[in-house]
């Protein structure tokens, strides 16, 4: 069983590395769109989407040393990773999970206000709202990073190839439960529900019955986070006419933005 699990770990590592490349590429493209297209930069309603893309891009880059280290030090007989290096190099994972969840909730709240309470939505200064959501996400992400180290002293763990094995049971319980957010919109929210909330619920439930899912499949949280970042990027490009025109080098007659909210499509022309 140990040798089989080690083979599964290696396959998971290469899958995550591939997802990281795709996530960095897609979200890097979105960041380039925001830099090149002034209409996107001036649109305050897309600022949270930009923050989400930047977070996914940085996480894909910063978490690469963690995955590469485990690939280079993988052993088919016995895994014995440096616990301190694992805890430090994988810290982007818990931080981005929390930041992504809070930004996603912020997007959902903003879109629902726009649809169901348009008068209140127009009174909200979107730039301030976006900054508050981002700072809230960063604050909770830093809190998770502090708890990550405070509750998990470096301890050697044989034959377990993921950071989830190196953190304490207390942190895993907290992590699984705290990431169970209710996302109720479309597009980005659906991908986050599928790739982030569902794994968090599984971890919380499985850990409560005394079984570690990390020891079976390895760092699946990293794969979920990268997959969510890729889907978020694809959704943004698919729903934004200016981005598609820029990719196809077609001349534009007017600047448009299509926003899909709760089953409705709203087209804004500039």
pTM for the whole thing? Answer: 0.68
Q: DSSP state, 162?
A: S
Q: What is the pLDDT of residue 179?
A: 62
The domain made up of 13-167 is a member of CATH 3.50.50.60: no
Q: What's the rounded Cα separation, in Å, for the pair 28 and 24?
A: 6
Whether 256 and 241 have beta carbons less than 8 Å apart is answered as yes
Burial of 124 from C-beta contacts in 10 A (0-12 / 13-18 / 19+): middle
pLDDT digits (tens, 9 = 90+) for 130-183: 999 999 999 999 999 999 999 988 988 888 888 888 888 888 878 767 765 533
Domain boundary assignment for the chain: 13-167, 188-243
Q: What is the pLDDT of residue 66?
A: 93
State the Cα angle at 157 between 151 and 160, rounded to 5°: 110
Whether 179 and 193 have beta carbons less than 8 Å apart is answered as no
State the Cα angle at 158 between 154 and 163, rounded to 5°: 50
Instruction: With H, G, I as helix, E, B as strand and everything else as coil, classify residue 249.
Output: coil
pLDDT class of 88 with cuts at 50, 70, 90:
very high
Burial of 19 from C-beta contacts in 10 A (0-12 / 13-18 / 19+): buried
């Amino acid at each position: 069983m140990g040798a089989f699990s080690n083979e599964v770990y290696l396959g998971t590592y290469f899958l995550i590395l591939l997802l990281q490349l795709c996530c960095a590429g897609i979200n890097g493209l979105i960041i380039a769109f925001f830099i090149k297209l002034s209409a996107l930069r001036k649109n305050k309603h897309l600022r949270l989407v930009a923050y989400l893309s930047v977070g996914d891009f940085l996480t894909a880059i910063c978490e690469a040393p963690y995955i590469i280290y485990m690939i280079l030090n993988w052993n088919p007989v016995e895994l014995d990773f440096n616990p301190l290096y694992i805890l430090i190099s994988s810290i982007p994972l818990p931080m981005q999970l929390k930041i992504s969840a809070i930004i996603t909730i912020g997007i959902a709240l903003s879109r629902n206000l726009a649809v169901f309470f348009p008068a209140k939505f127009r009174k909200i200064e979107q730039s301030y709202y976006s900054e508050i959501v981002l700072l809230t996400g960063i604050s909770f992400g830093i809190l998770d990073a502090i708890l990550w180290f405070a509750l998990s002293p470096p301890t050697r763990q044989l034959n377990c190839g993921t950071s989830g094995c190196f953190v304490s049971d207390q942190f895993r319980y907290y992590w699984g439960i705290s990431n169970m957010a209710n996302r109720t919109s479309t597009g980005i929210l659906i991908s986050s529900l599928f790739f982030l909330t569902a794994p968090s619920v599984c971890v919380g439930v499985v850990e409560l019955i005394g079984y570690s899912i990390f020891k079976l499949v390895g760092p699946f949280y990293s794969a979920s986070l990268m997959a969510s970042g890729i889907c978020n990027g694809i959704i943004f490009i698919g729903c934004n006419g200016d981005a598609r025109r820029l990719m196809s080098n077609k001349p534009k007659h007017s600047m448009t933005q299509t926003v899909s909210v709760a089953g409705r499509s709203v087209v804004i022309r500039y």
